[in-house]
Amino acid sequence: MHDELAARHRAITLRLAGRTVKAICAAVGRTEVWFHKWWGRYLEAGPDGLYDLTRANHHVAQHISPELERTILSIRRRLQAHASPATRYSLIGAPVILAELKALAIHPLPCERTIERVLERNGLTAPRIRLAPLLPRQEWPGPQARASNELHEVDLVGPIYLLGSGHRYYIWAGKDAFDGAVCLRLADSRRMDEVLWFLGECWKDLSIPEQVQFDNARELAGWGPAARTLSRVIRLCLRFGASPVFIPEGEPQFNGSVENFNGWFQEPLLQRRFRRPGDLRRELTRLQEAVNTQHVHPRLHGLTPAQHRRGLRLRKLPASFVVPTERLPLAEGRVTFLRRVSVAGTVTVLSQSFRVGKRHRGLYLRLVVDTGRGLLTAYLNGRVLQRWPYKLLNN
């Protein structure tokens, strides 16, 4: 079997390098029917179409041959064409090309920067514009993800309309801020019941995170005087041990990981028009599967999110679990609100204003509601700035 796979790898590599079918068959001792079978499998599914492929490491070469350069360009064009459902949501950058070269057991193996230079030299990508980093005015008080399931970011895309229908649909997206794993679901509305259902689906697919980050929409944080009792979404998170975090109001860039993902997938997904909700749901499943099993990340040392998560202990909800939609009793925990101090020196949490002083205007604070102790604490650069009693009704 090893010799057979080696022959398949060799045949595909020679074809990518520009060899004729007759020359390839002579080199590997196979028939043209055999070659066309495996070439078709490769075009449809990439290296995975060749079944068990080696993941061996190789030494990096300083210079590449013309054959390897043609191979890189051929892989790039195949990925860029998005010609089949399996490649519809493929990335096309240097990390993905490098992963495919590894899967094909090509030697010598170039580094990512060498692949980028090949693409730039052939006009297939724009060179990087390197800008000097900006000096931060202050330390960002928001959570930082250093491992899988430390932080999930949740956001909404929509409204979306199907062909021949005026009904509004929405796509809920949840993304692990560290490893890039995603969960996508189609919802009939943006009501709070739909949010609760989506969080359950997300925790079944990705596992329950330590923190889950939202924007300040009404269906998430609540609104008006009733917001101080804590919304059903917040109570659900606290009950399952996932601390909710709310980004600054009107500043979606601080939910950047999921916002960038939403901006990326809308073009390839919504350029196709769907007539039935089931069609869109199936396409979302295909998109989720592609992102989790095909997209490689430098942070994960060239692994996909699915490969990275195989060795982790995940705290998932059972597939049959039904998430409660009623208001749950209040549980102990911490709810974090990231807020910018106004010109008047105040911050707003759950429709209530708190004064922290004009000397802090324009700065970002981390305000934490501790439900167990009944306190609201404002932190500036990690230090306690001010603290208020904050009693909540356990109803």
Contacting residues for 276 by C-beta, under 8 A, at least 6 apart: 162
Question: How far is the C-alpha of 151 from the C-alpha of 147, rounded, in Å?
Answer: 8
Q: Answer whether residue 232 shows pLDDT above 50.
A: yes
Q: What is the mean pLDDT of residues 89-106?
A: 81
Structure confidence at residue 59 (pLDDT): 42
Q: What is the pLDDT of residue 236?
A: 94
Residue 204 confidence (pLDDT) = 93
Question: What is the overall mean pLDDT for the chain?
Answer: 85
pLDDT of residue 334: 94
User: pTM (2 decimals)?
Assistant: 0.72
pLDDT score, position 1: 44
Q: Look at residue 171 in the predicted model and tell me its pLDDT.
A: 92
User: At residue 343, does pLDDT exceed 80?
Assistant: yes
pLDDT at 106 over 70: yes
DSSP state, residue 290: H
Beta bridge partners of residue 176, listed in sequence order: 152
Residues 116 and 127: their CA atoms lie apart, in Å, by 8
User: Mean pLDDT, to the nearest integer, of 342-368?
Assistant: 90
Give 313's contacts (C-beta < 8 A, 6+ positions apart): none
Cα angle vertex 48, ends 44, 53, to 5°? 145
Yes or no: say if 2 and 15 are a contact pair by the CB < 8 Å rule: no
What number is the average pLDDT over the span 317-336?
A: 91
Condensed to tens digits (0 to 9), the pLDDT of residues 171-222 reads 999 999 999 999 999 999 889 999 999 999 999 999 999 999 998 888 888 8
C-alpha torsion sign, points 381, 383, 385, 386? positive
User: Mean pLDDT throughout 306-313?
Assistant: 89
Report whether 243 contacts 336 (CB < 8 A). yes
Lowest mean pLDDT among 48-57, 320-329, 345-354: 48-57
Distance separating alpha carbons of residues 282 and 35, to the nearest angstrom = 33
- Order across the sheet with 243-246: list the strands: 182-187, 169-176, 151-160, 211-214, 243-246, 334-340, 364-370, 375-380, 383-389
Other beta carbons less than 10 A from residue 329's beta carbon: 9
